[in-house]
Amino acid sequence: MSPRGAELPAPPRGASTPAEASAAALSTRGAVAFLTPALLLIGVFLIFPALWTLYLGITDYRLTGIQAAQPQVIGLDNYTAALGDPAFANSLWVTVLYVLGSAVIGQLGLGFALAWMFRRWQGPARNALEVLVIVAWIVPSSVVAFLWIAFLDTHNGTLNAALGNANIPWLFSWPLLSIIVFNTWRGTAFSMLLCGGALNTLPPSHLETARLAGASSWQQLRDIVLPSIRGHLLTNLLLISLWTFNDFTPYLITAGGPNFATDTLPVYIFRNALVNFQLGYGAAISAILLVINLGIALIYLRVLRARN
Amino acid sequence: MADLEIRGLTKVFPGGVRALDELSLHIEDGEFFALLGPSGCGKTTLLRSIAGLETPNSGKILIGGRDVTRLPPGARDLAMVFQDYALYPHMTVADNIAYPLKVRGVGRKERRDTAESVGRSLQIQGAMLDRRPGQLSGGQQQRVALARSIAYRPHVFLFDEPLSNLDARLRLEARTFLKQLQRDLGVTTVYVTHDQAEALALADRMAVMEQGRIRQLDTPSNCFLRPANIFVAGFIGSTPMNLLPATVQDGGLDVAGRKLLIPDAIRAQAKVGDAVILGARPEYVSVSATELPDSLGGIVRVLENLGVDSLVTVEVGDLLVKATVPEERVPAVGDQVWLQPAQGRLLVYRQDDGEQVGAPPVAPIEAPALAPQAG
């Protein structure tokens, strides 16, 4: 080889050398090779079931009978049936109340309030508080459901005992309120930790400047804290709204009753698809739930973008 | 407008750090007062205590004769500018400037008018008022923070290293601007900095602090020319002061085996055999290529170019002595030279407590207390 390849013609400007071209091909092939397993998993477990659900939603597929063996495509009949079903309207309304009550007001409101109240706590006291709220969040749903049934029981419940043998049938008289309080209790830890983290990002000098100007706690909260952590709050709200919308845990406590008072959409789908065997109908409702979730996400994204 | 008085202020943090130790201080109405010291000396704690952001363990703070020690920050009628400016990113510049007025219930129209008039005096005007702080340069943000503190006409300004986040050139411009502004407004100002040049340049008077105490309370020129002790001597000055161990002899001072004349001012107080520390600023040490009587002979070891002049490090016996020389008389490394402190500029400190010879002895600073003391 001649020194420094002096005899070789210089490659034309802008064109890649064969070595560069093969490196690019190799990197593309490498990227495909690395991505394929993940794409396969996503395809098999996420995309295929979603498309399959959409397909089932336009059939009369059932768990038993002739339609189980030979489901027929029936077009949008499932959707028109759902929109005309008062039970579906009831479920939608119950779900909206459940999300507003337990996610928006309960978890976000209480979570932020706790984070704000305890923002100056440091050391062991703070750790103890965090452990306490996280426990409510990480205990398995079935265990938590049992604990709350025991807590709210009419005759032997802890709550009624604390109220002096009041014998109030909480789950019968106040079913929706009961599961809203339950889900608030269960999910507040997440919002509290997220809000606490958001409050920590606020430079101390911002609030100190406001205090020196004479701002009250409420003014500091309204003018400085909330606008500063708006992005965190909205992201948190999006997450907990979607989680609560799709939450099935209330079924473990009230089974959708009494008289469909806690029949949230996931419970409604479960009841129709797996209890009444109408898989096609359940799939159609699932698709509607998906659209509602997308709608919620779009609204939050719109609000989030509106800040700039 | 108001004067500011600190009486016996003590602040001990949980964990036992004694940030302020029985500190007393009086700042005149309209004075530009600088608090200077290394990090951890308590200067910021003092400023925050005046602001009401820290609660002192004992002592009193009076603003214009009114005891504000137990008042919340908002009731003290003062404004503070922070190192990070603390501008609200979600508000426009005009809203930032007028926020203290909004808190006080001033109407929208009047707030806008005030923001415009105050902004104009600080060259914040036009479209800039409707921008967000994130769209401004560092210098502009700094002026917006100043405007916000001026907007509600407080009795006292508190500055917590407000120029530290600016680059070197801008910092000099902002310094001049700040001094002019304070002159014009005539508002009592407390200015915390760790930059001795800033304190010297800005202040009418300054306090040099160490471990929660004031080591010298004086005008900038006195702090520079006549540091009261070795701590202040070592802290102030952009080229570090020479601090040379010496012994008092009959009719002179012995430095590394060489003899210097004893300054007239302390001849009466110094006893033969006393161990002392000599303080001589490099700017006040002359360098001669020919032998002089009563001087320090040595060999040039290091040359540093400072622009207008050069800093020469000379090995005198086992000591290193620094001196500045003008550009046309710079010696070469390895040259034999003779150093002589300027008349009346040689400072003599006691070796035991570091105070100036002739000054009354002071109580030594104790190690920080481990437990908070009852106040």
Given pLDDT bands bounded at 50, 70 and 90, which one contains residue B1?
low
Under CATH, what is the fold of the domain B242-350?
Answer: OB fold (Dihydrolipoamide Acetyltransferase, E2P) (2.40.50)
The answer to whether residue B88 neighbours chain A at the CB level (below 8 Å) is yes
Average predicted confidence (pLDDT) for chain B:
88
Given pLDDT bands bounded at 50, 70 and 90, which one contains residue B359?
low
Domain ranges of chain A: 85-305
pLDDT (tens digit per residue) in B14-42:
888 889 999 999 999 999 999 999 988 99
Residue B297 · residue B336 · CB < 8 Å: yes
Residue A2's pLDDT is 41
Residue B122 · residue B147 · CB < 8 Å: yes
Residue A16's pLDDT is 55
Residues from chain A that touch B75, judged by Cβ atoms under 8 A, are 214
Residues from chain B that touch A212, judged by Cβ atoms under 8 A, are 51-53, 73-74, 76, 78-80
Q: Which residues of chain A have pLDDT under 50?
A: 1-12, 308
Residue A99 · residue A241 · CB < 8 Å: yes
Under CATH, what is the fold of the domain A85-305?
Answer: MetI-like fold (1.10.3720)
pLDDT (tens digit per residue) in B55-67:
999 999 999 989 9
Residue B47's pLDDT is 94
Given pLDDT bands bounded at 50, 70 and 90, which one contains residue B372?
very low
Which of residues 103 through 162 in chain B touch A, CB cutoff 8 A? 103-104, 148, 152
Residue A307's pLDDT is 60
Q: What percent of chain B has pLDDT over 90?
A: 49
Q: How far apart are CA A50 and CA B372, in angstroms?
A: 65
pLDDT (tens digit per residue) in A19-50:
766 777 778 888 888 899 999 999 999 889 88
Residue A30's pLDDT is 85
Residues from chain A that touch B146, judged by Cβ atoms under 8 A, are none
**pLDDT over 60 (residue B375):** no
- Report the residue from A209, A219, A307 with minimal CB separation from B82: A209
Q: How far apart are CA B104 and CA B275, in angstroms?
A: 62
Per DSSP, the three-state class of B63 is: strand
Q: A115 vs chain B: nearest CA distance in angstroms?
A: 21
Sheet holding B213-218, edge to edge: B78-81, B156-160, B188-193, B32-36, B205-210, B213-218
Question: Of the given ranges (A8-12, B238-242, B314-318), which has the lowest mean pLDDT?
Answer: A8-12
Structure tokens at B49: 């205590």
**pLDDT over 90 (residue B49):** yes
Under CATH, what is the fold of the domain B4-231?
Answer: Rossmann fold (3.40.50)
Q: B315 vs chain A: nearest CA distance in angstroms?
A: 49
Chain A residue with CA closest to B80: the answer is A209
**pLDDT over 50 (residue B371):** no
Residue B245 · residue B71 · CB < 8 Å: no
**Cis ω before A250 (30° cut-off from 0):** no
Q: How far apart are CA B256 and CA B318, in angstroms?
A: 7
Residues from chain B that touch A219, judged by Cβ atoms under 8 A, are 103
| Count of Cβ atoms closer than 10 Å to residue B344 Cβ | 11
Domain ranges of chain B: 4-231, 242-350
